[in-house]
Structure 1
Amino acid sequence: MSALSALENALENRWEALWRRLSGREPAEIVDALRRECDSHAVVCRAGRVMVPNAYDVELAGPVHEELTRRGGRVGQALVDRLARHAARHGYEWAGPLAVHVSRSSEVPNGRFRVASSVMPHVSAAGFRRAGD
């Protein structure tokens, strides 16, 4: 294992421990859902070029969202980092700048989440909102 891989694993373990402490949820569930969303919307444009959506919305149940925002919110950026590493491992290209927007939703069952993606040009996490919000 290279030093870079060991450092990456250590950082991921630390992130997961922090997430569990803050939200009581396994981050692997949300990260896995983001990865599945990315993979399921991958489009092969030509040999060696696979495009994926660049805007992801993670809706959290109220109590989980409140806990994360109360302690300072770098959650979206942490999820962006994890998703970016996943895409790099698979050779995916983003349809535009990558953003993960984390929001509160009363439509998500308590303790659960929902993940959706779309293609949005020139998107930033601050400006990304799902249609209808």
Structure 2
Amino acid sequence: MAVPTRIPVRFEDVFPAGAFVLEVEAASDYDKVKANLSDVQARDKDTGERLWVVRVLDADPAARQAEVKVKITAEVQPVPPDVMPGTPFRPVVFEGLTVTPWVDTSGSRPRQGFALRASAMQAVGTPARRTSAVAA
């Protein structure tokens, strides 16, 4: 049995109380930054497309971390949903959400965590986009 590096998960399982976009920014490739290159944006290892980091507020009051980051692969910067009227919040749903667990043993005490990736983000209540045609 092959265990995938990126494990598919449902949005509802990761964000049971919902999520709100705080900011979308380009992910930096620190090797490119050190080399003083003009384009320092990180690229997806599989597709070569640009990586974007979406800072997200987890609406679950019992969440271990209030803020998490979700990476999205896209050639152009993803546009966050509109602000919910009367609030500063931008409710979001992530499509194609995956989780990648990791362990850092380089320090005096091992740390564990996970990285979140998504194929796209959309406003709450927006129908999911089709990425491929369905055979009839």
Q: Which has the higher helix share?
A: 1
Compute the TM-score of the two structures, normalised by the length of structure 1: 0.26
Q: Which has the higher strand share?
A: 2
Instruction: Select the structure with the greater relative contact order (CA < 8 A; seq sep ≥ 6).
Output: 1
Compute the TM-score of the two structures, normalised by the length of structure 2: 0.25
